[in-house]
Amino acid sequence: MAGIFESVGRWTVNGWRSQRANMAFLGETVCEAMGMVVHPRRFRFADSALAFQRAAFDGLPISTGIGFLLGVILAFQSAAALQMFGVEVYVADLLAIGLFRELGPLVTAIILAGRSGSAFAAEIGTMKVDEELDALTTMGLPPVRFLVLPRVVAAVLAMPVLTIFAELAGLVGGAIVLQMMNVPTVVFWRHVEATTSVFMISFGLAKGALFGLLVGLVGCSAGMRTSSTADGVGAAATSAVVGGIVAIAVTDGILAVLCYVWQL
């Protein structure tokens, strides 16, 4: 019995310390971001552009491919049910609503967490193990300003780009499936146009940018908290992926409830 209480107490203390470290990291990041707004010349645009290239352009093939397969799978699964009622043409409406409002940003964010979130944690974690972060601090250069902010901004900007291509690829996949079911492509795109709205597309892109912010913060936070052990970098990368996906899922659930309450 004493061992159980000891385990619960250790888990509680470790969780409290982890949350306190996360809040301190978030506060420091917000302060540095406000400082960048006042003094934009301090922002490292070259590092942010490089991180954006790795997160957005290098991630386009996988995100576009997953989006295409997602559209094909959704079209096949929904058409199998709607075909019994002879209304398989409404698969286009289902795809448009599902991709633009929910699945497009969600799946793309999970891909970004797996690719870029782990990369952020591994890069910063390796610098910490090699004592490069201590060198920056000794020289009076805040690691958050030089390492965290460029990557977070890159993740925020990369998510809308990846989301747009994933959604378009998903619609193309759905159009191909419905073409195989004798639904003209023109009819498919007319249904998509009639279903979508500027608010729907903007809401999905804004949600994607928020997910990108979460991926960047969680990945960089895991890298900053990397331990100096042999498996520290691997544990940081794993923590970045798991924490990013959990943060995305929780945030998406909260947004879904708010949209239902506000009838958006």
Q: Is residue 165 part of a domain?
A: yes
Q: Is residue 171 part of a domain?
A: yes
Single out the residue of 168, 152, 59, 154 nearest to residue 104, CA to CA. Answer: 168
Contact 4, 208 (CB under 8 A): no
Single out the residue of 216, 226, 44, 241 nearest to residue 126, CA to CA. Answer: 226
Q: Is residue 138 part of a domain?
A: yes
Q: Is residue 70 part of a domain?
A: yes
Instruction: Show the domain range for 192.
Output: 43-262
Q: Which residues of the chain fall below pLDDT 70? A: 1-2, 230
Say what the pLDDT of residue 2 is. Answer: 61
Q: Is residue 87 part of a domain?
A: yes
Cα separation, 143 vs 145, in Å, equals 5
Contact 143, 136 (CB under 8 A): yes
Q: Is residue 17 part of a domain?
A: no
Say what the pLDDT of residue 230 is. Answer: 67
- Which residue bears the tokens 């497009």? 104
Say what the pLDDT of residue 227 is. Answer: 84
Single out the residue of 110, 52, 149 nearest to residue 252, CA to CA. Answer: 110
Give CA torsion, residues 202, 204, 210, 214, to 10 deg.
Answer: -160
Tell me if residue 211 falls in helix, strand or coil: helix
Total domain count, the chain: 1
Q: Is residue 31 part of a domain?
A: no
Look up residue 253 and give its two tokens: 């659930």
> Where do the DSSP E strands lie in 138-202?
none
Look up residue 188 and give its two tokens: 């498919």
| 163-206 per-position pLDDT tens digit | 999 999 999 999 999 999 888 999 999 999 999 999 999 999 99
- By residue count, the chain amounts to 264
Contact 66, 107 (CB under 8 A): yes
Dihedral sign for Cα atoms in the order 86, 94, 244, 160: positive
Look up residue 220 and give its two tokens: 């960089």
Q: Is residue 203 part of a domain?
A: yes
CB atoms within 10 A of CB 173: 22
